Structure 1
Amino acid sequence: MSQAARRRDPGLAFVGPFLLVYCLVLILPMLHGIWLSLHVIDIWGDGRFAGLANYSRLFADPVFGQSLVNTFIVTLMIVPLLTVIALGLALALNRATRGAAILRGIFFSSAVLSVTIVTLIWRFILAPDAGLLGEVWQSAGWEPLPFLSSPGLALWALAITTIWWSIGLPMLLFLAGLQQVPADLYEAAALDKASRWRTFTQITLPALRRTTILVVMLQTAAQLQLFGQSQLLTAGGPSGASRTVVLFMNEVAFGRWELGYAQAAAEMLFLIILGVTLTQYWLTGRAGEGDHGR
């Protein structure tokens, strides 16, 4: 055995178990899912090969189309607001004080709750008849807004709930990014008598560029898979106004037992998430190259 081969053996022994588990847990299920999406199959039978029939049916399905539009809309509602709010909290709490530490723990605490608890809390808040928000508005003489039963407000209910639930991790990521900014940059800005806005736009934001990209990409991928809030808060209603793609898949797979059709929807969602993520990465990379060019 050659010396180069001996050097490779320890490396293969080190990464081999990981590669084996990776293939068993991710690659094989993904390939099986693609195979399943090409069949008309339910939970009780072997099914039959249908080729691309499930995908053709998806493109002609108005319910899937509506769920896809709902998913994109709620993602656009959540991601920009979540990013801005998380950045604002990180800037406000980036202090080495006991009060800031307590507030960081409070804002992060919602992230450890299950989706069931979160939706239960927000049902008590958003219910127009006996909810906290409805009671406050009635006491002020206003008519409570039907967040959970109005087609125009149902997605906002999902967005508000998700932002409250998800704010912790982006805030911590921004805090970590802020702590990596060299202090001498702020000292130089103070000596130059730069305003807070100029310091923020010229020092803080450029330093947080990679963190912002990470937050936006992670949250976009997460919100395109939004499910629990839609199922438990509004049940996809009213009239499908808050049905997301993952809720559509759940209804098809476990309500109508059309596993092949549901898997085809899952593969479409996977391609959409992959395409959106790669597009974001490409656009931010191009923007970074433009900045370096200047």
Structure 2
Amino acid sequence: MAEPLTATTAHQGAGAVSVKRARSVDIYAPQWRNFLFVAPYLVFFVTLLVVPLFWGIWLSFHKADTFSSGPFIGFGNYVRLFNDRIFLQSIWNTFYFVLLTVPSLALLGLFLALCLNRRTRSAAVLRGLFFSSSVLSVTIVTLIWRIVYIPDIGLLSMIFGLFGARAPAFLSDPSLAMIGIAIATVWWCIGLPMMLFLSALQQIPQDIYEAAALDNANRWQTLRSITLPSIKRSFVLVVIIQIVFQFQLFGQALLMTRGGPNNLTKPIVFYIYETAFRRWDLGLGAAASEILFVLILVAAMVQFLVSRRKADV
């Protein structure tokens, strides 16, 4: 005999149906309302990065100034650039500066990280001192180093004077001006590579070092076989970051040498600034900006691919 349907059994039946429906819903299905959480970031990303990028490309094909976009001239601005001796000199200056600073920052940052990777109070104080220069503005950094480089009465002249020698004229000698800017830049930017390497070193398990010590491995063997292979990815990251940063040299050259002597310290960004905002030739400045973008992209990708190929080998 069939059991009569009661309110309790009806309620249980409805509950079972609702559970089955809930289970049928895919919990991994995309929830479009989650887009609201990233929408503010996307708005700023598109407004401040994507739109200016394509706007700059569009301007580079026009004879534009501050007041109008001007007529379409195709690759005319790019032809003008590569016929400009000062622009070609600025490309060489930028590459020379990158060659001076990026290897120095990577190797010196690694050296400092290896020396200061200790759980002591003195190591913590030194880490703070080396990183403190990174929080300074470019104006303060250039002011400090202009005082260091002042002929006859600067700090460098005083140090050389103790040995009866004359200090190099870093800001006026054509062969030393870019080196002087590079020294100031390395002092300013060394904190970030050091901290990135420190973070990577502290992720290496100590068990590996203990096993190496049991095998009587010396410090050089441990560094070559354990430490350097373990931080290889961090080294590539540091190099790529510094390539992107140092290709954008501007403030140091502007405030320390004004691009001189004889345009030998004028980087591409300085050339863009003078062209677009002093000569009001926005089309030519936009074309130079796009060339700088391509140079940074190519340099970073070459470094990444070369490092990846070495890692695969």
Q: TM-score, normalised by structure 1?
A: 0.94
Q: What is the 5 A alignment of 1:195-210?
A: 195-210=218-233
Tell me the distance in 2 between the aligned counterparts of 1:183 and 1:124: 45
Give secondary structure in 2 for the equivalent of 1:40.
coil
Amino acid at match of 1:81: S
Aligned with 2:79 (options 26, 47, 56): 56
Alpha-carbon contact 1:38-1:49 (below 8 Å) kept: yes
Deviation at 1:274, TM superposition (A): 0.7
Q: Contact (CA 8 Å) 2:59, 2:69: kept in 1 or not?
A: no
What is the alpha-carbon distance in structure 1 between the residues aligned to residue 140 and residue 218 of structure 2? 43
Q: Secondary structure at the match of 1:49?
A: coil
Q: How does 1:159-198 map to 2 (within 5 A)?
A: 159-198=182-221
Q: Aligned pair in 2 of structure 1 residues 18, 130: CA closer, same or farther (>3 Å)?
A: same
Q: In the alignment, which residue of structure 1 is the partner of 2:18? A: none
Give, in whole Å, the separation in 2 of the partners of 1:21 and 1:270: 20
Q: 1:288 deviation in Å?
A: 1.2
Q: Which amino acid aligns with 1:264?
A: A
Aligned to 1:96, what secondary structure does the other structure show?
coil
Separation of aligned partners in 2, 1:66 and 1:43: 26
Question: Which amino acid letter does the alignment assign opposite residue 272 of structure 2?
Answer: M
Q: Are the aligned partners of 2:64 and 2:281 in contact in 1 as well (CA < 8 Å)?
A: yes
Distance of 2:54 and 2:206 partners within structure 1: 50
1:283 alignment partner in structure 2: 306
Matched, 1:216 2:249: no
Q: Equivalent residue for 1:143?
A: 166
1:212 aligned partner, one-letter code: F
Greater shift, 158-167 or 127-136, is seen at 127-136
User: Hey, what's the Cα distance between the residues in 2 that align with 1:6 and 1:181?
Assistant: 38
The residue type paired with residue 59 of structure 2 is L
Aligned pairs for 1:59-78 (under 5 A) are 59-78=82-101
CA distance in 2 between counterparts of 1:46 and 1:188 reads 67
* 2:290 corresponds to: 267
Deviation at 1:115, TM superposition (A): 0.3
| Aligned 8 A contact 1:42 1:259 in 2 | yes
Aligned mates of 1:16, 1:252 — CA distance in 2? 36
Which residue in the other structure is 2:274 paired with? 251
C-alpha distance in 1 between matches for 2:294 and 2:161 = 46
2:144 aligned to which of 121, 139, 150: 121
CA contact (8 A) 2:61 2:73 kept: yes
CA distance in structure 1 between the partners assigned to 2:151 and 2:224 by the alignment: 41
Encode CA deviations 1:227-277: one digit per residue, 9 max, x unaligned: 111110111110011111101111111221111101110000001101111
Alignment of 1:41-52 (within 5 A): 41-52=64-75
Native 8 Å contact 2:62 2:69 kept in 1: no
Which residue matches 1:9? 32
Residue 253 of structure 2: aligned partner: 230
The one-letter amino acid of 1:133's match is L
| Structure 2: distance between partners of 1:7 and 1:221 | 35
Q: Retained in 2: the 8 A contact 1:109–1:168?
A: yes
Shift in Å, 1:6: 7.1
Matches of 1:16 and 1:146 in 2, distance apart? Answer: 53
Query: Conserved in 2, the CA contact under 8 Å of 1:110 and 1:168?
Result: yes
Matching residue's letter, 2:125: I
Separation of aligned partners in 2, 1:214 and 1:266: 24
Deviations 1:169-193 (A, max 9, x none): 1000000000001101111111111
Q: 1:74 & 1:140 partners in 2: Cα distance? A: 30
Unaligned residue ranges in structure 2 (runs of 5+): 1-24
Q: Per-residue CA shift, 1:72-122, capped at 9, x if unaligned? A: 011001111111111111111111111111110000000000000000000
| Superposed displacement of residue 15, structure 1 | 3.5
- In 2, distance between residues paired with 1:189 and 1:113? 41
Question: Is structure 2 residue 253 aligned with structure 1 residue 241?
Answer: no
Structure whose CA Rg is larger: 2
Distance 2:170 2:271 in 1: 21
Alpha-carbon separation, structure 2, partners of 1:21 and 1:57: 34
C-alpha displacement at 1:130, in angstroms? 2.0
Contact 1:128–1:147 (CA under 8 A) maintained in structure 2 = no
> 1:108 pairs with 103, 113, 131, which one?
131
Q: Is the 8 A contact 2:66 2:280 kept in 1?
A: yes
Q: Distance in 1 between matches of 2:200 and 2:288?
A: 37
TM-score when normalising by structure 2: 0.89
